[in-house]
């Protein structure tokens, strides 16, 4: 199993439009994929007021590749959502 952590810093002036789409469109683009076992969406805190996270758990590298492509180290951003992104990071961890 692999945990994928996607962090995004958004353009703050687009927050009102971003939040509902991140919770629905972006979440569904991951959660509805075969091999995705769990998705958690996190919102900002006062320490990072423009950062959000999506943490997904995948049953295998193959499932993750089916979702993200052969280079699964690249962020998969649903069409139309790229306009919100100021910067993003992606981290992967094998379950021990």
**pLDDT tens per residue across span 51-84:** 999 999 999 999 999 999 999 999 989 889 999 9
Set out the domains of the chain in order of their start, with CATH numbers: 2-94 (3.30.70.100)
What local confidence, expressed as pLDDT, does residue 89 receive?
Answer: 97
In the chain, alpha helices (H): 15-21, 27-31, 61-68
Angle formed at CA 67 by CA 43 and CA 48, multiple of 5 degrees: 20
Q: Is the pTM of this model over 0.85?
A: yes
| Confidence label for 7 from pLDDT (cuts 50, 70 and 90) | very high
What local confidence, expressed as pLDDT, does residue 82 receive?
Answer: 94
What local confidence, expressed as pLDDT, does residue 95 receive?
Answer: 95
What local confidence, expressed as pLDDT, does residue 75 receive?
Answer: 92
Calculate the CA 29 to chain-centre distance.
9
Nearest residue to 51 (alpha-carbon basis) of 92, 89, 3? 89
């Amino acid at each position: 199993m692999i945990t994928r952590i996607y962090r995004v810093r958004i353009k703050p002036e687009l927050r009102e439009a971003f939040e509902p789409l991140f919770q629905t469109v972006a979440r569904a683009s991951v959660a509805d994929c075969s091999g995705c076992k769990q998705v958690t969406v996190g919102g900002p805190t006062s320490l990072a007021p423009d950062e959000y996270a999506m943490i997904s758990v995948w049953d295998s590298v193959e499932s993750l590749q089916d979702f993200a492509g052969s280079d699964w180290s690249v962020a998969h951003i649903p069409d139309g959502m790229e306009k919100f992104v100021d910067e993003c990071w992606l981290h992967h961890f094998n379950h021990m």
